[in-house]
Amino acid sequence: MLRKEKTHYHKLKDSLAHRHEDIRKKVWDKHSVQLTDIANNAKQVAMGSVGGLMLLTSPANNIAVLPDHQVIDEVQAIDLDKNVFFISDLSESLPDDVRPLTVAEEKKITELLTTHYSIPVYAEKDGKRLNRSYGYIGAEQHLARYPGDTMDTHFDNPEDAAKYWSSGMAPGLGAWGYFVPGGQKMTDQDVQREKYYIAVQTFLSPNFKEKISEYRDFYKFKKMLVVNPDNGKAVVAVIGDAGPAQWTGKSLGGSPEVMKYLERVDGKAKGAVLYFFVDDPDDTIPLGPIEAPVPVASN
């Protein structure tokens, strides 16, 4: 049986794991402190020493405080390692080709995403699911938010206009029409929904044709977590349009802001993303880029 050659991420993961072990040993040897609580949690020790550093530098322990720059370097290194481990875990869980995931694969990946980003995500919500949760993403244009919205009125500041003007405005409306019906005042929520929207193949959902109106209402502005598995970057977006067509070879589309943040490009260099429903009944999770929370050490 041939052994599978290690990928770049696997090699990097192994290297960083050894580095963390060396750091942990040096810290323990230097300070000679028994970190009982941390020792009882082997994973916490292996993945980072933020809690350990907090204990080691506590004045209550009568131990010299480490220089600020050293603590900052350690925290940054741990944060970097955490992301590398996450990317490696994702790569091990994904199939070699970009295809619909199995139920078992979806379960494992949603657990990884929920743990890493600290938000609950699901492949299926209220008995409904998309045709897939892993596919190639294509670039979409800006959508008109209200009657009369144009490229001249679309941006709040020159910086955004410079970044995203070239994408242009879609000739038609999104699947649910304007984000702001005529005569209503545009809110920040409306702005964010258009800014961070995706188009998904709602029409390919199981049972869609039998329950078109029910599914149409369900998908309108539904929150989803979209993740680039190659770099760990993620965005919370809403479903703002339906598409793309099957013949394009792509499974979803992203607004200019979504595509730029995820570092995904269109055309021949197309890339794949993961996308799952976000469980947020109280609407407390903001739209836009999301990062893994920084661990908070307990006292």
Please write the tens of the pLDDT for every residue from 184-242: 899 999 999 999 999 999 999 999 999 999 999 999 999 999 999 999 999 999 999 99
151-196 pLDDT per residue, tens: 999 999 999 999 999 999 999 999 999 999 877 899 999 999 999 9
Sign of CA dihedral 196, 201, 203, 205: negative
Count the Cβ atoms, other than its own, within 10 Å of residue 202.
22
Tell me whether strands 252-254 and 134-139 are parallel, antiparallel or unpaired: parallel
Of 242, 243, 244, 224, nearest to 234 (Cα)? 224
Q: Sorting pLDDT into bands at 50, 70 and 90, what band is 296?
A: low
Task: Tell me the whole-structure pTM to 2 decimals.
Answer: 0.75
d(CA 222, CA 277): 8
CA of 262: how far to CAs of 39, 196, 232, 274, in Å?
A: 37, 11, 9, 11
Distance between CA atoms of residues 134 and 257, nearest Å: 20
Look at residue 5 in the predicted model and tell me its pLDDT: 52
The total number of residues written for the chain in this structure: 299
CB of 198 within 8 A of CB of 220?
no
- pLDDT computed for residue 292 by the predictor: 87
Map tokens 């741990």 to a residue: 78
Closest CA to 169 of 198, 140, 147: 140
Residue ranges and CATH numbers for the domains of the chain are 8-91 (no CATH), 98-290 (2.40.40.10)
